[in-house]
């Protein structure tokens, strides 16, 4: 089974929670529903587990990872475009070359923003 992908805030809270309970899953699950959570991580885990119990259990059993942020997706995409450009012989002093590169990056970033707004 592959890792469960979760928002960064949930991942940070689960990491803190796992450390607090020494990664003892039965205790973590049992305590995640207590209403008297004393710290922010506990409250985040409690609310997440209550609203997404199956996902919470899968994350505890099969591990989890943070979803890629919008900034991460843009960074990786721009690096990929850049790598493509440096692989081919180009004249970096040519204004048309720089403009074409800028157009590719702009088009990519625009697509990422459109995809992100459709997710919400």
Rounded CA separation 43/8 (Å):
15
For residues 37 and 53, the model is more confident at 53
pTM listed for this prediction: 0.61
Please give the structure tokens belonging to residue 62: 């099969």
Confidence of residue 36 (pLDDT cuts 50, 70, 90): low
Average pLDDT of the segment spanning 17-35: 79
pLDDT tens string 41-63: 888 998 999 999 999 999 998 99
Angle at 38 between CA 34 and CA 41, to 5 degrees: 85
Give how far Cα 37 sits from Cα of 8, 11, 17, 40, Å: 20, 17, 11, 8
CB 65 within 8 A of CB 3: yes
Please give the structure tokens belonging to residue 87: 């692989």
pLDDT at residue 103 in the model: 93
pLDDT at residue 22 in the model: 84
Other beta carbons less than 10 A from residue 49's beta carbon: 22
Confidence of residue 107 (pLDDT cuts 50, 70, 90): very high
């Amino acid at each position: 089974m592959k890792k469960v992908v979760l928002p960064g805030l949930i991942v940070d809270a689960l990491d803190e929670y796992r450390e607090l309970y020494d990664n003892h899953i039965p205790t973590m699950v049992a305590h995640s529903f207590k209403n008297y959570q004393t710290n922010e991580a506990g409250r985040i885990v409690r609310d997440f587990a209550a609203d997404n119990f199956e996902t919470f259990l899968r994350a505890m059993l099969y591990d989890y990872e943070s979803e890629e942020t919008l900034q991460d997706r843009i960074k990786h995409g721009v690096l990929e475009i850049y790598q493509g450009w440096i692989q081919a012989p180009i004249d970096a002093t040519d204004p048309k070359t720089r403009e074409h590169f800028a157009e590719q990056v702009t088009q990519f970033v625009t697509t990422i923003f459109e995809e992100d707004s459709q997710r919400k």
